[in-house]
Structure 1
Amino acid sequence: MTELLYLIAIALSLGLLGLGAFLWALKSGQFDDLDGAAHRILFDDDPPPPQPKAAAAPGETPMKGA
């Protein structure tokens, strides 16, 4: 019977610890912008750097379509 009281006390303390962690995360702004990261990954802010064009060797004509 005493073990049951210990288990109840442990369960209540873990529940209060979880509630405290949730309230701390709520107060620190963890849940302010839920969609921002999902949208941010889809759009790249910086354009890719320009690729240098391959120069044709002297006497060669550049290939069309490449």
Structure 2
Amino acid sequence: MSVIFILLIASITVAAIFLGAFLYSVKKGQFEDEKSPPIRILFDDKPSSTTITKNQ
């Protein structure tokens, strides 16, 4: 019976840690950019400026 209490305390602690991490990330603005991720996929990456030359 004491194992159930230990597991209950452990699960509540882990849930509280994840809730704290989520609230911290919301407070720091991690989830505020809702517009650019769907649009970002439409643009191609810029071509790299490096060129490879072969010496023969």
**TM over 0.5, shorter chain:** yes
Larger Rg belongs to: 1
Greater fraction helix: 2
Q: Give the ranges of 4+ consecutive aligned residues of structure 1 lying more than 6 Å apart after TM superposition.
A: none
What is the aligned length?
A: 47
Q: In the alignment, what sits opposite 1:43? A: 43
Q: Which has the higher contact order (CA 8 A, sep 6+)?
A: 2
What's the % identity of the aligned pairs?
A: 40
Q: In the alignment, what sits opposite 2:21? A: 21
Aligned-CA RMSD value: 1.9
Deviations 1:6-61 (A, max 9, x none): 00000100110010010011011111012312202213586x7xxxxxxxxxxxxx
CA distance in 2, matches of 1:34, 1:9: 36
2:31 counterpart of 1:31: yes
TM value normalised by structure 2: 0.69
CA distance in 1, matches of 2:28, 2:14: 21
Q: In the alignment, what sits opposite 2:53? A: none
* Structure 2 gaps, min length 5: 48-56
CA distance in 1, matches of 2:28, 2:44: 27
